[in-house]
Amino acid sequence: MADLRPLDFDRRLDRLRLALVANELDGLLVTNLTNVRYLTGFTGSAGIVAVTEADVVLTTDGRYRTQAGEQVDAAGIGGRVAIEIGGAEEQRTALLERLAGAARVGLEAEDVTWAQAVAWQERLGRDAVRSAGIVEALREVKDGGEIDRMRRAASIADDALAEVLPMLAAAATSTLEEQEFALALDSAMRRRGAESVAFETIVASGENSAKPHHHPSARRIENGDPVVVDFGATFEGYRSDMTRTFVVGGLPTGKLKEIFDLVATSQSAGVAAVQPGVTTGSVDAVCRDIIAAAGMAERFEHSTGHGVGLDIHEAPWVAAKATAILEPGAVVTVEPGVYVAGVGGVRIEDTLVVTDDGAEPLTRFTKEVVA
């Protein structure tokens, strides 16, 4: 769309070649489909990219003959990326020809099986180098075009929740089920321009709210229920991620109110801690220490957050003892939660982009508790 900055594929390829030098590689075989998309714009379900100092080639099969050319051209790198179409053997031949002069070829170790690695080494006629996270490290810092698309995805999700929230408010006098609300929210995101949901929407009410990754069920949402809503939209491949926890029909009371207040305090402190130059582990510690000080450490049973982009979960990881250093352009979530069986659970989550002097929330929906 006209108001979105373009994605900088040329710069991605240039940065990857510098990364190959830093990792003492002469070539890289990219088999992870998300990484293939990141480097070339190609979104097909089958494709491999070989990168050397001299060449970049994308191979795929005949189903994608037209699509591959269109998407590589749309990415503005048609003159830099060769495209080879054919069966599996023809693709392998094309890749091996490009890698023939590369003494040290990296395989994406987290994406290939042992059998695949052995087969590639046999075809190369030499040992391949186990590589991990080379392209993923490039993806950690988003360019302006990526941030624009993530901001749009977040805005779509914000507006969709505003549209359907009255259904939740009316649940006290209706027969609304978790799965009905999830479907309405998903549909609202699609109507507003999302190409898909970012992941399976979570709607967890009442006792189900104490299950961090509950699947929406036929349970009826009732008056007084806490309701955890964790969802996101995908726009042009880029995702958003947000969680809000509501109470149907009024404010929380008793132990549930303590949990709401504790998580809100923890999440607010975690958001403030997202700054350039800090480690992701320190952000996790800020959130976790507040919850631990309240005697609820064992009830915070997941990491504080994660990176978001073309994948809903990607580096950098916001977890205990994580050492990644946040840079401007990194996009991470902050999502502490406390879950007590028999009482309920609360999670609050925002997606933030690190700026030169702090962080900007991409998810902006109100954190008011009453649905």
What 3-state class would DSSP assign to 141? strand
Q: What domain count does the chain have? A: 2
Q: What is the pLDDT of residue 268?
A: 98
Boundary (domain end) residue, out of 139, 163, 185: 139
Token pair in block for residue 266: 């923890």
- Flag whether 367 is in a domain: no
Check whether residue 92 and residue 211 sit in a common domain: no
Angle between helices 114-124 and 88-99 (to 10 degrees): 60
In a domain, residue 281? The reply is yes
Pairing verdict, β 82-85 and 56-60? parallel
Write down the pLDDT at residue 2.
Answer: 53
Residue 20 lies in a domain: yes
- Largest alpha-carbon pair distance within the chain? 71
Query: What CATH number is associated with residue 342?
Result: 3.90.230.10
Tens-place pLDDT, residues 44-57: 999 999 999 999 99
Q: Kindly state whether residue 366 falls inside one of the protein's structural domains.
A: no
- Do residues 316 and 254 share a domain? yes
Q: Give the pLDDT confidence score for residue 1 in this predicted structure.
A: 47
Q: Are residues 133 and 179 in the same domain?
A: no
Residues 63 and 165 in one domain: no
Give the pLDDT score at 85.
Answer: 98
Strand order in the sheet with 48-52: 82-85, 56-60, 48-52, 27-30, 105-108, 129-131
Helices (H) and strands (E) in the chain, counts: 10, 19
At 218 the pLDDT is 98
Same domain, 68 and 149: no
pTM of the predicted model, to two decimals? 0.96
- Among residues 46, 143, 123, 141, the alpha carbon closest in space to that of 85 is found at 46
CATH number of domain containing 24: 3.40.350.10
Do 116 and 15 have their domain in common? Answer: yes
Q: Within a domain: residue 32?
A: yes
SS3 225: coil
Claim to verify: residue 33 and residue 113 sit in the same structural domain: yes
Q: Which domain-ending residue is among 123, 139, 155?
A: 139
Return per-residue pLDDT of the chain as tens, 371 residues: 458 999 999 999 999 999 999 999 999 999 999 999 999 999 999 999 999 999 999 999 999 999 999 999 999 999 999 999 999 999 999 999 999 999 999 999 999 999 999 999 999 999 999 999 999 999 999 999 999 999 999 999 999 999 999 999 999 889 999 999 999 999 999 999 999 999 999 999 999 999 999 999 999 999 999 999 999 999 999 999 999 999 999 999 999 999 999 999 999 999 999 999 999 999 999 999 999 999 999 999 999 999 999 999 999 999 999 999 999 999 999 999 999 999 999 999 999 999 999 999 999 999 999 99
One domain for residues 182 and 240 = yes
Tell me: do 70 and 194 sit in the same domain: no
pLDDT of residue 234: 98
207 and 281 share one domain: yes
* Residue 102 domain boundaries: 9-139
Has residue 3 been placed in a domain?
A: no
Are 260 and 330 in a shared domain? yes
Contact predicate 120/97, CB 8 Å: no
133 and 162, same domain (yes or no): no
Which of 139, 161, 184 is the last residue in one of the domains? 139
Q: State the angle between helix axes of 254-273 and 280-293 in degrees (0 to 180), rounded to the nearest 10.
A: 160
Residue 191 lies inside a defined structural domain of this protein = yes
**Domain assignment of residue 256, yes or no:** yes
